Structure 1
Amino acid sequence: MTINYREKIEHSKVYAVAKHTSLDVMPNLSARLGNQVLLKREDMQPVFSFKLRGAYNKMAHLPQEALQRGVICASAGNHAQGVALSAQKMGCRAVIVMPTTTPAIKVNAVKARGAEVVLFGDSYSDAYLHALKLERSEGLTFVHPYDDPDVIAGQGTIAMEVLQDHPGPIEAVFCCVGGGGLLAGIAAYIKAVRPEIKVIGVEAKDAEAMTDSLRKGERVMLEQVGLFADGAAVKQVGEHTFALVQQYVDEMLVVDNDAICAAIKDVFEDTRSILEPAGALAVAGLKAYVTQHGLQGKTMVAVASGANMNFDRLRFIAERAELGEHREAVFAVTIPETPGAFKAFCRLLGNRNITEFNYRFADHKQAHIFVGVAVQSPAEAATIVKTLGAEGLPTIDLSDNEMAKLHLRHLVGGHAPQAQNEVVYRFEFPEKPGALMNFLESMGHNWNISLFHYRNHGADFGRVLVGMQVPPEDKTAFERFLKQLGYPFWDESQNPAYRLFLG
């Protein structure tokens, strides 16, 4: 039996719990891309995600006797809260099976809605199988997170609102993809009403279940999925969703974690809201699409699908956003281990802002440094590699090296028994061009720098740790240097952490 999804979506029962969210212009991103970017604000729903639309629509279409028995689902995230809120509104029992590894904040959020939480297994798959057992043993009705026509129709009401709010030309609508419910619902409605509008799905690089399935013409089962964009980390897409996506979706895009982090920052700069990684997938895909096709003057819509962010991820996101936007490049550079070589290297970088610098003395011949530099494009990074190489400083661009970005930048260093007469000081540099060169020029003496660590933290000042080899006879001159420098400093030479790991 063929389902008329346009009719089903237009008659969906979602607004008892969901609200008609706004379609906001992103002025900064629009100006940068040369296109009008509109953000569909599903992050502003009562549970900070679109998921309650599908959950409520499914439950609103259940027979009364089924509601009296109650519903069950398996979820560690947004779907769980959508089912819990819907059940609270309807006054029915809701059982949510969550993995035992689910953070307490998510468990408590579901309990606060009056749902019963059952913790089972180490993964979503374990929780899902246990939920199916409880469904049978307790006579409950399973509310699927995506592979159900009523759930798909509920999510499709987003497309209905977009077309109501913007009847003018739209080049494309971008949606994140996990199991495919959101993409399927939006695509089915748009292609029925405005078939000229492209519908494009966006997946995370390490969770490409829909992309792979479309390529092979059948649903595939991924062996494992990355969990950074955990709201869209699904090993296999749904049967209903796959069929609809095959029929209606124009294109799939895949973006990496750095691009997702950059998109989160883009949304924050325009809205002061922080999306979860899955919630920012659509924005990341939109940006990639504009770059690939060289579009200008078009109107495009990205669905901000969720904002249930784990706070402890913010540090990683901030660290990687500039790399994702290609506004920072990181390099491994080899320089001579001689006094003044570091200063000469900094001069070669010119007025570019150094965002990070990690170095530890290793031997008397060569120094290997890890440096981050603010750039405008990948082409500028290539220019830096060429410029330094021409001056006899072999340089490797590590901007796409995951191990280097994730781990190496924090591991540069170790004990340096050959670094004689080493003193270690912690400084606060003003975050302005020339602060580092001022430090180097003020040194005066040829004291060898044996340790250097700096990272731009976005504050008014930069925190810097410096090791220098200062002979005892230069003590007075060194103290004079510290006084004339004018930067706040702290002597860390006797710090037990330094003595244990670096001294």
Structure 2
Amino acid sequence: MPYFPSIADIRSAAETISQVASLTPLTQSIRLSERYGANIMLKREDLHQVRSYKIRGAFNKINSLTEKERQNGIVCASAGNHAQGVAFACNHLGIKGTIYMPSVTPKQKIEQTQMFGGDWVEVVLEGDTFDDSFKSSMNFCIENNKTFIHPFDDPKVIEGQGTVGLELLQQFNQPIDYIFAAVGGGGLVSGLIGVFKPLSPSTKIIGVEPEGAPSMKTSIEKGVNTELSAIDKFIDGAAVQKVGDLTFSICKDNLSDMVVVPEGKVCQTILDLYNRDAIVVEPAGALTIATLDSYAEEIKGKNVVCILSGSNNDITRTAEIKERALLFAKLKHYFIVRFPQRPGALKQFVAEILGPDDDITHFEYSKKSSRENAPAIVGIELKRPEDLRPLMDRMKANNFFGDYLNDKPDLFQYLI
């Protein structure tokens, strides 16, 4: 029989993780509840000591090791949150660990991992994606006869993550109609399915992935666990090229829906949560809120839980988050502008071409040729999306227009 998490094992995991993890709050979002005409509850998994739910599965797995396995040490691969859970568990239990992380992991996550692990862990930066780190860590693990702590495709990890579901049933004394949960490798949603299928089968569990890394959605649609050839790594906590075999088996027949959200919409959600609710989340932590618009009609009048999976965000990413949000909202646009090589050309562009609410936010120009027109790369922020067409018309009418770069990804990637 294929593996399926049992209630007994998830309850046992809850006893285990009570050593290191407190009950996280379930709070109503008044803003979101009013916006969607529903009772929107936020499960604050971002408030763990390691600032994500990953402590649950990591500690449950590591605590289950034999004495010989503990002495040999453990290895894991992670984009950041699982690494911190493993590091914390290693320090707490006195077990040596080697933690592989992608070289592009935000500095904040690396430093937190080292802090939680102390002298018990070594951090190795390897590869550009989680999958790169995973392959390197597995080779190291086999060569050194250590135990691998998988971030999602392990029964003990899945059962640990499933304790989120037990807490929800304990905290909310009404039927839960919808649960929205982020999907990276699928450990969290698999654990939730293990709880709600037997105890609350009417609850719909919706998995949410980044649009740029739809590994679970692609696999479910194809009917086979599929490795993506390339992914967008921005939402690092949920960007994997292939989900787990165990988690795919559980999710393909039991998830109510598997949806994706554009990275730009996630960025705007991060900004809204910070500015309006004083909640700091990482990109993966905002996925569940970002998808509510696509369910607006279905959730009216319903009890809805959104799991905020983590808050390990690096403040140095704020500029990129804002940029992606503006691009998604169609308020930020990049052009090649051909300025006539005569005095006053830039002044004319500002005075006659830009609209009254338009703002230049990026400008690169070098006068290195004697040609009649010299190009500049110009980024312009608009107040309204509908201001774009009139702006382009004015540029063309006055011979300033060179090219529009937002629709040219090969060039655009060098700007963003």
TM range (shorter): 0.7 to 0.9
1:24, CA displacement in angstroms? 2.1
Indicate the residue corresponding to 2:203 in structure 1.
Answer: 197
List per-residue Cα deviations over 1:359-394 (Å, max 9, x = no partner).
899979xx998643334xxxxx4587489979x979
- The verdict on how the C-alpha distance between 1:386 and 1:184 changes in structure 2, with shifts beyond 3 A counting, is same
Distance of 1:121 and 1:343 partners within structure 2: 50
Q: Secondary structure at the match of 2:291?
A: helix
Distance 1:147 1:208 in 2: 17
Matched, 1:320 2:324: yes
- Aligned residue runs from structure 1 range 18-167, under 5 A: 18-99=21-102, 102=105, 105-112=108-115, 113-114=117-118, 115-119=120-124, 121-123=126-128, 124-167=130-173
- Once residues 278 and 8 of structure 1 are traced to their aligned partners in structure 2, the CA distance between those partners, rounded to angstroms, is 27
Aligned to 1:5: 6
Give the RMSD, CA atoms, in angstroms. 3.7
Could you say which residue in structure 1 is the equivalent of 2:306? 302
1:119–1:387 CA distance, 2 compared to 1 (3 A):
closer
* Structure 1: distance between partners of 2:184 and 2:324: 23
* Superposition pairs of residues 282-361 of structure 1, within 5 angstroms: 282-290=288-296, 293=297, 295-324=299-328, 326=329, 328=331, 330=333, 353-354=357-358, 356=360
**Distance in 2 of aligned mates of 1:255 and 1:400:** 20
* CA shift digits 1:166-191 (9 cap, x unpaired): 22243311111111111111122122
Kindly indicate whether structure 1 or structure 2 has the higher relative contact order, using CA contacts under 8 Å at least 6 residues apart: 2
Q: For 1:117-143, what per-residue CA distance to the aligned partner results, in whole angstroms no more than 9, with x for missing partners?
A: 152643444543343344344442211
C-alpha spacing 1:175/1:331, structure 2 compared with 1 (3 Å):
same
Counterpart residue identity of residue 146, structure 2: L
Return the alpha-carbon distance in structure 1 between the equivalents of residues 132 and 336 of structure 2: 47
1:422-465 alpha-carbon deviations (Å, 9 max, x no partner): xxxxxxxxxxxxxxxxxxxxxxxxxxxxxxxxxxxxxxxxxxxx
Tell me, yes or no, if the aligned pair for 1:205 and 1:257 is still in contact at 8 Å: yes
Q: What do the CA deviations read for 1:303-354 (whole angstroms, capped 9, x no partner)?
A: 1111112222111112333454x484659799xx9998976777xx78xx54
Give distance in 1, aligned partners of 2:180 and 2:200.
15
User: CA distance change for structure 1 residues 363 and 136 in 2, over 3 Å: closer, same or farther?
Assistant: closer
CA gap of 1:343–1:100, structure 2 versus 1, over 3 A, is closer
Counterpart selection for 1:372 from 368, 381, 387 = 381
Mark the CA change 1:333 to 1:372 in structure 2 (over 3 Å): closer, same or farther.
farther
Aligned residues: 396
Residue identity opposite 2:311 in structure 1: A
Q: How far 1:158 sits from its partner (Å)?
A: 1.0
The change in CA–CA distance for 1:299 and 1:372 in structure 2 (over 3 A counts) is farther
Q: Note closer, same or farther for the CA distance 1:127–1:402 as it changes in structure 2 (3 Å cut).
A: closer
Change (3 A) 1:393 1:199: farther
Q: Tell me, yes or no, if structure 1 residue 239 matches structure 2 residue 245.
A: yes
Alignment partner of 1:224 is 2:225: no
- Preserved contact between residue 361 and residue 379 of structure 2 (Cα < 8 Å): yes
Matched letter for residue 313 of structure 2: M
Structure 1 residue matching 2:17: 3-state secondary structure = coil
2:178 is equivalent to residue 172 of structure 1: yes
- Specify the alignment match of 1:421 in structure 2: none
Amino acid at match of 2:212: D
Asked if the contact 2:334/2:377 (under 8 Å) is kept, the reply is no
Do the aligned partners of 1:332 and 1:370 also contact (CA within 8 Å) in 2?
Answer: yes
What is the CA–CA distance in structure 2 between the aligned matches of 1:23 and 1:266, rounded to whole Å? 19
Amino acid at match of 1:171: D
- Corresponding residue of 2:256: 250
Structure 1 position 258, deviation (Å): 0.7
Cα deviation for residue 34 of structure 1 reads 3.4
> Sequence identity, in percent?
33
Measure how far apart 1:165 and its partner are. 1.7
Task: Quickly say closer, same or farther: Cα 1:106–1:357, change in 2 above 3 A.
Answer: closer
Q: Residue deviations 1:213-232, cap 9 Å, x none? A: 00000001111221101111
Q: Would you say the 8 A contact 2:362–2:377 is kept in 1?
A: no
Name the aligned partner's letter for residue 124 of structure 2: L
- The whole-number CA distance in structure 2 between the counterparts of 1:65 and 1:8 is 23
The C-alpha deviation readout for 1:101-158, integer Å capped at 9, x for no partner, is 6565444433332333152643444543343344344442211100011101111111
Q: Calculate the TM-score normalised by the size of structure 1.
A: 0.68
Calculate the TM-score normalised by the size of structure 2.
0.80
The secondary structure found in structure 1 opposite 2:138 is helix
Distance, in Å, in 1 between the alignment partners of 2:140 and 2:305 is 40
Aligned residue for 1:374, secondary structure, equals: coil
Contact map agreement 1:155 1:182 (CA 8 A) in 2: yes
How far apart are 1:94 and its partner, in Å? 2.1
Distance 1:345 1:163, change over 3 A: farther
Which ranges in structure 2 are unaligned for 5 or more consecutive residues? Answer: none
Q: Is the 8 A contact 2:206 2:257 kept in 1?
A: yes
Pairwise CA distance, 1:296: 3.0
| Structure exhibiting the larger radius of gyration computed from Cα positions | 1
